[in-house]
């Protein structure tokens, strides 16, 4: 693996030549920008073998293409144990970082396209599957970060892609040459875009006849000509530039999203994995969605572990930990978090082999997992805020604690249990604030709601996959009612 550790990964970002804007200004080196560096640190943790006994087996796998040791983030799932290990890896990294570590979308995109390109070749006589395998092998050997790009900006939601007043509201092909294609459009809410080496683009919805130009999937370098990145804002994000780590709450790690614009970007044929096959586009969307909805049963659970620990620690520091209602709330948080994890494991254990030879998750259970994720983290966050108390949003700044005139007052009047340093109490309170109110809420709460599709998307899939006719048949049989 070319990139073998966190330092090498961060150095590789410094070598990228991209067109990036942060707060309205061009940014030549995102990895050293204080608004972006915490998110780069979170990705770097995926390159850190760590000290956990299970980390080696979870972070790395054996490539079915080469037999070499690779990052699991570049692995094509070969059985249900791979699917389970993926969820366990995501929980591990969520525990380390208490945020989104940004490599899951690319991994899920690879695995969705692996089976779809195979099936597309069978139907249309194309050669996408061999191209994808070559690309995946290269990614595995380089050990680079792939940003999975699915969400289009969509424009008027009441109109189809080919009905928009501006055709660029969905990424589409604007020119075809013997050497490749030219694409235009934009992808929104792109998690980890500024920390990725390559962009893997997929269609955002099932395309229909007449929308062939929008049924496109491809990969391009992040620095390709015509690509522009614009960093999105997060709550309280400028605390990161104030030089007061205590006020940030999670000063080392974070996440980021960006708007990624494709302005007549050329894609060579060997990087094109779908181009015009509208009948195959819906498969990409559904299979990717299932994989990514499975992912949330791992990553959000790992962050939940940190929140639960912070709530328990805050209760200890303020002397309320033995109160029965506090114990009940902590138990409820654990119950909700482990329910999410159970769903992630269940859809993995029930996975099935595809004709291409890789394994998909159980789509119904994956959608059940994600629909729970749109609810439970919000309740976990509410309980954490309840236990932290009002000081969560009234706490003075670290600079106040550093002012010799008022610091003694703060140390005296904001102390909890005797013997517990006041600053330690402030640190854990800021951590809860970060994950449930500030920057961290973007990757924990908002991402739980909208990432991998908003709740209605899961409801649609659940209704489609529930097989209600079979359930009616079972009820008729038990009740003795003839069909």
SS3 call for 428? helix
> Can you give the C-alpha Rg of the chain in angstroms?
23
Which residues have C-beta within 8 Å of that of residue 263, sequence separation ≥ 6? 184, 226, 227, 228
- What tokens does 305 get? 């572990």
Number of CB atoms found within 10 A of residue 223's CB: 14
- What tokens does 89 get? 């890896």
198, 211, 277, 447: the catalytic one is 447
Q: The tokens 């600079």 sit on which residue?
A: 399
The DSSP code sequence of 120-150 is HHHHH---HHHHHHHHHHHHHHHT--EEEE-
Distance (Å, whole) CA 119 – CA 110: 14
191 is catalytic: yes
The DSSP code sequence of 181-243 is EEEEEEEEEEETGGG-SEEEE--SS---TT-GGG-EEEEEETT-TTEEEEEPP-TTGGGGGTT
299 is catalytic: yes
30, 75, 100, 118: the catalytic one is 100
Residue 182: C-alpha distances to residues 113, 121, 170, 213, 251 (Å): 20, 22, 14, 11, 41
| Of 33, 59, 34, 35, the residue nearest 46 (C-alpha) | 59
137 is catalytic: no
45, 257, 286, 433: the catalytic one is 257
299, 343, 347, 369: the catalytic one is 299
Distance (Å, whole) CA 252 – CA 103: 18
- What tokens does 242 get? 């104030």
Q: The tokens 């061999």 sit on which residue?
A: 130
104 is catalytic: yes
15 is catalytic: no
Distance (Å, whole) CA 355 – CA 120: 11
439 is catalytic: no
Number of CB atoms found within 10 A of residue 66's CB: 11
75, 292, 369, 429: the catalytic one is 292
Distance (Å, whole) CA 107 – CA 381: 28
Q: The tokens 């909208």 sit on which residue?
A: 450
Q: Which residues of 33-57 are buried (b: 16+ CB within 10 A; e: fewer)?
A: bbbbbbbbbbbbbbbeeeeeeebee
The burial class, CB within 10 Å (0-12 / 13-18 / 19+), for 2 is exposed
Distance (Å, whole) CA 17 – CA 20: 9
296, 343, 369, 429: the catalytic one is 296
296 is catalytic: yes
Which residues have C-beta within 8 Å of that of residue 405, sequence separation ≥ 6? none
99, 151, 191, 436: the catalytic one is 191
Please identify every residue annotated as catalytic: 100, 104, 191, 257, 292, 296, 299, 447
């Amino acid at each position: 693996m070319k990139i073998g550790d966190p330092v090498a990964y961060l150095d590789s970002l410094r070598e990228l030549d991209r067109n990036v804007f942060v707060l309205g200004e061009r940014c030549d080196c995102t990895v050293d920008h204080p608004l972006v560096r915490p998110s780069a640190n979170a990705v770097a943790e995926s390159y850190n073998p760590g000290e956990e006994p299970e980390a080696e087996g979870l972070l790395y796998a054996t490539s079915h293409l080469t037999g070499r040791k690779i990052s699991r983030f570049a692995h094509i799932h070969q059985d249900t144990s791979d699917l389970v290990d993926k969820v366990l890896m995501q929980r591990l990294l969520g525990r380390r970082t208490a945020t989104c570590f940004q490599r899951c979308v690319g991994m899920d995109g690879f695995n969705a396209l692996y089976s779809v390109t195979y099936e597309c070749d069978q139907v249309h006589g194309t050669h996408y599957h061999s191209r994808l395998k070559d690309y995946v092998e290269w990614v595995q050997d380089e050990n680079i970060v792939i940003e999975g790009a699915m969400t289009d900006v969509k424009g008027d939601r009441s109109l189809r892609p080919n009905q928009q007043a501006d055709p660029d509201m969905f990424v589409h092909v604007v020119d075809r040459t013997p050497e490749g294609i030219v694409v235009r459009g934009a992808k929104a809410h792109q998690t980890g875009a500024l920390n990725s080496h390559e962009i893997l683009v997929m269609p955002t919805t099932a395309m229909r006849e007449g929308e062939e130009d929008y049924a496109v999937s491809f990969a391009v370098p992040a620095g390709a000509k015509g690509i522009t990145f614009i960093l999105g804002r997060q709550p309280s994000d400028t605390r990161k530039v104030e030089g007061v780590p205590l006020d940030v709450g999670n000063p080392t790690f974070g996440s980021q999203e960006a708007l990624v614009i494709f302005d007549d970007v050329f894609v060579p044929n060997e990087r094109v994995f779908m181009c015009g096959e509208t009948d195959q586009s819906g498969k990409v969307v559904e299979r990717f969605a299932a994989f990514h909805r499975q992912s949330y049963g791992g990553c959000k659970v790992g962050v939940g572990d940190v929140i639960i620990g912070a709530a328990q620690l805050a209760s200890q520091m303020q002397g309320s930990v033995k109160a029965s209602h506090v114990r009940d709330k902590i138990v409820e948080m654990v119950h909700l978090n482990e329910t999410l994890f159970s769903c992630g494991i269940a859809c993995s254990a029930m996975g099935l082999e595809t004709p291409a030879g890789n394994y998909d998750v159980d789509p119904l259970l994956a959608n059940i997992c994600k629909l729970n994720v749109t609810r439970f983290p919000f309740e976990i966050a509410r309980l954490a805020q309840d236990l932290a108390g009002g000081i969560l949003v009234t706490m003075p700044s670290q600079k106040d604690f550093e002012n010799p005139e008022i610091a003694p007052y703060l140390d005296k009047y904001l102390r909890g249990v005797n013997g517990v340093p006041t600053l330690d109490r402030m640190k854990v309170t800021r951590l809860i604030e970060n994950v449930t109110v500030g920057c961290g809420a973007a990757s924990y709460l908002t991402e739980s709601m909208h990432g991998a599709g908003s709740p209605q998307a899961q409801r649609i899939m659940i209704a489609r996959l529930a097989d209600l006719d079979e359930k009616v048949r079972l009820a008729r049989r038990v009740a003795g009612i003839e069909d």
